[in-house]
Amino acid sequence: MQKLMAIFTNEWILIPLVSICVMIVVYQWSDQVIAKLRQKSLGSREEIIRLLDLMFVEVDQQKITIILLLLSFGVGFIVFFLFLPNVLAGFIFAAFATVAGWIVPVLVVKILWEKRSSKFVAQMVDGLTIMGNGINSGLTVTQSMERVVENLDNPISQEFRMVLSQISLGRSVEDALIELDQRIPKPDVQMFVTAINILKETGGNLPETFATIVVTIRERQKIEKKIEAMTAQGVMQGIIISMVPFILIIVFLVADPGFIRPMFDTTLGLVFLVIMLGLVVIGGVAIRKIVTIKV
């Protein structure tokens, strides 16, 4: 066991072994790795552009590409040079920074899009009430939607204005509403679109249907808030557990730098550091999966 540990702590043996393993992996799966890197970089860009377009945000594709390159490879190069002359540590942390530069912008835009979609669903309670009252007073569906645009804020005003613009340009009400459902793929929006399209063809009491949808949305929101309250402790525990290793590292760097320095100066310490980061990420994802309950 001591001889094995001596091998792993000897950089003159470990680094060539790691280099040989990396060379074999690159040789065997170079095409797949390049394709995956291309997919990650370009796929992130396309996903960001798609989500921003759904939120009616005008973007320049070239600017998005430059920003993503700066956040990924640019930050990666900066991190690499900050760790010089320790090349191995610089390479490891630069790789993490580059991958984070691909993932984090997409996650941020997705969070913004989810918040916008959730706000739209919350506004549907008032919007459908206004539409139901308008239809009861003799207005058509499109005229009732115009009242919603006049009385409520974005995003429901923005989305309904887009629907009305498409109808004025010759699109059918059904097609315009189906496109609304595609922009905001929420169950409540789908229920609203389906109800209008079906009742418009077969006839029926739209105000009563809208009232039923409003009750459904309110009950769903109550359940979601109850679930958020019940899982808040688990979310906080996940955040605290994920931050504990980094806090301990900072504490040791301040209190006794010599004790923690081998983790950054030796090959074995860097290996353990990478394992720690990987376990923290896996643990955070696992906790998030456990506490995320979809209604």
Q: Which residue's structure tokens are 């490891």? A: 92
Q: Which residue's structure tokens are 């209190």? A: 255
Which domains, ranges and CATH numbers included, belong to the chain?
119-221 (1.20.81.30)
CB 124 within 8 A of CB 192: yes
Angle at 42 between CA 40 and CA 48, to 5 degrees: 95
Cα torsion angle, 202, 208, 210, 214, sign: negative
pTM score, whole prediction: 0.69
Mapped onto helix, strand or coil, the DSSP state of residue 292 is coil
The percent of the chain in helix, strand and coil, each rounded to the nearest 5, is: 85, 0, 15
295 residues of the chain, pLDDT tens digit each: 555 555 555 555 656 666 676 666 655 665 565 555 555 555 677 778 888 888 877 777 777 777 777 777 777 777 777 777 766 667 777 777 777 778 788 888 888 888 888 888 888 888 888 888 887 777 777 888 888 888 888 888 888 888 888 888 887 878 888 888 888 888 888 888 888 778 777 766 777 777 888 888 888 878 877 877 777 777 777 778 778 888 887 888 788 777 777 777 777 777 777 788 778 878 777 777 776 666 5
State how far the Cα of 54 lies from the Cα of 108, in Å rounded to an integer.
15
DSSP string, 8-35: HH-HHHHHHHHHHHHHHHHHHHHHHHHH
State how far the Cα of 153 lies from the Cα of 161, in Å rounded to an integer.
11
State how far the Cα of 131 lies from the Cα of 147, in Å rounded to an integer.
7
State how far the Cα of 101 lies from the Cα of 252, in Å rounded to an integer.
28
Give the number of other CB atoms < 10 A from CB of residue 253.
14
* Continuous segment of H or E residues that includes residue 294: none
Calculate helix-pair angle for 156-168, 173-183, nearest 10 degrees.
Answer: 150
Q: Backbone phi, then psi, for 155, in 5-degree steps? A: -90, -15
